[in-house]
Amino acid sequence: MSAAHAAGASGEVAAPYGTGPATAPAVPAASGRKVRIHHLAELKERGEPWPMLTAYDMYTAALFDEAGIPVLLVGDSAANNVFGYDTSLPVTVDELLPLVRAVTRSVTRALVVADLPFGSYQLSPEQALATSVRFMKEGRAHAVKLEGGRRFAAHVEALTSAGVPVMGHIGFTPQSEHNLGGYRVQGRGDAADVLLADALALQEAGAFAVVLEMVPAEAAKRVTHELKIPTVGIGAGPDCDAQVLVWQDMAGLRRGKAPRFVKRYADLAGALQGAATAFAEDVRRGEFPAPEHAFH
Ligand SMILES: Nc1nc(=O)c2c([nH]1)NC[C@@H]1CN(c3ccc(C(=O)N[C@@H](CCC(=O)O)C(=O)O)cc3)CN21
Ligand SMILES: CC(C)C(=O)C(=O)O
Ligand SMILES: [Mg+2]
């Protein structure tokens, strides 16, 4: 895939789902209708994989929405990818809320999921609900996501009972990186049974989907087949019902070594740095502004 194609410059970004000629789309792709959680369940039934990306601001939210990404995640990975922290642990609800608000303001159809940050839900189901209500009321989020399996089933239950759709997240859970001993694959060998038990508990508690991060492809395949709700993989192989990436990784804005599970579809770092360098040179040479950029 060319960079121009990947960036949508050609205007022919691949239709991501449900656009077969005679069949009604499972997700209201170009119709302008809002994506709902039942659409995602329908995609699983049809065996149609769907994409999810993070978004943290207006332009990315609007572009990804127009590109037909049905679900956007305002990740707590904003810690790393917006605020410049070295882990996702320090980011707060007060830091994430304005990003969630910017994204929900900028989409017409994507389902926007707000990631609950470390410390904002673990204390109790009540704390999880209070935080989620802020993301829904102030951020206008459509759903929330939290990390953890069986131990968080009560939290998920409290949210879904209150009308808050919940996406789970198991496998490698970055908010527990110090407990898990760093960025490591989870669910190898016997731990695959733990992964499945956690996934089933989240489904039972009412989660509408579950992220599987950095788990062996075989374990993710098993969980995907055992669950009625969709699995969303990141470093979890090809058999998940959906795939998610952090947008700055996918678009090559973040520099340095990307995790193995990342595929780069563009070189935004190169493009942006090239633009800034060209602008700087123009100004230093007195070539910008030209007459057409000035008022006469
Ligand atoms: N930009 C970005 N992308 C992400 O995918 C991401 C974040 N930030 N922040 C929050 C979490 C942290 N994540 C990460 C970050 C790095 C690796 C990583 O470096 N993985 C290596 C080592 C794996 C190993 O040691 O087994 C890899 O090669 O995949 C994995 C997950 C996923 N999330
Ligand atoms: C990587 C995704 C699943 C995430 O949780 C985040 O971006 O915060
Ligand atoms: Mg996250």
Q: What is the ipTM of this complex?
A: 0.92
The set of catalytic residues is 213
pTM: 0.91
Predicted pLDDT at 3? 38
Residues of the chain with pLDDT under 70: 1-25, 28-31
Max CA-CA distance within the chain?
Answer: 74
Task: State which CATH number among 3.20.20.60, 3.40.710.10, 3.20.20.70, 2.60.40.10 fits the domain covering 24-265.
Answer: 3.20.20.60
- The per-residue pLDDT for range 108-133, each reduced to its tens digit, is 999 999 999 999 999 999 999 999 99
Which ligand 1 atom minimizes the distance to the CA of 81? Answer: 1
Q: What residue type is 213 in one-letter code?
A: E
211 in contact with ligand 2, CB cutoff 6 A: yes
Nearest CA to ligand 1 atom 12: 174
Q: Do 205 and 160 form a contact (C-beta atoms < 8 A)?
A: yes
End-to-end CA distance of the chain: 45
Separation CA 289–CA 293 (nearest Å): 6
Cα–Cα distance, 13 to 24 (Å, whole number): 20
* Residue ranges of domains in the chain: 24-265, 268-296
Residue 80 has which token pair?
């790393």
Q: State residue 20's pLDDT score.
A: 41
Q: Which amino acid is at 34?
A: K
- The CA distances from residue 182 to 51, 109, 166, in Å, are 27, 36, 26
Pocket test for ligand 2, best of 69, 173, 211 (most atoms within 8 A of CB): 211
Is the beta carbon of 246 within 6 A of some atom in ligand 2? yes
Residue nearest to ligand 1 atom 7, measured at CA: 77
Choosing from 80, 170, 245 the residue with most ligand 1 atoms within 8 A of its CB, the one to mutate for a pocket test is 80
Per residue in 82-110, pLDDT (tens digit) is 999 999 999 999 999 999 999 999 999 99
CA-closest residue to ligand 2 atom 7 = 75
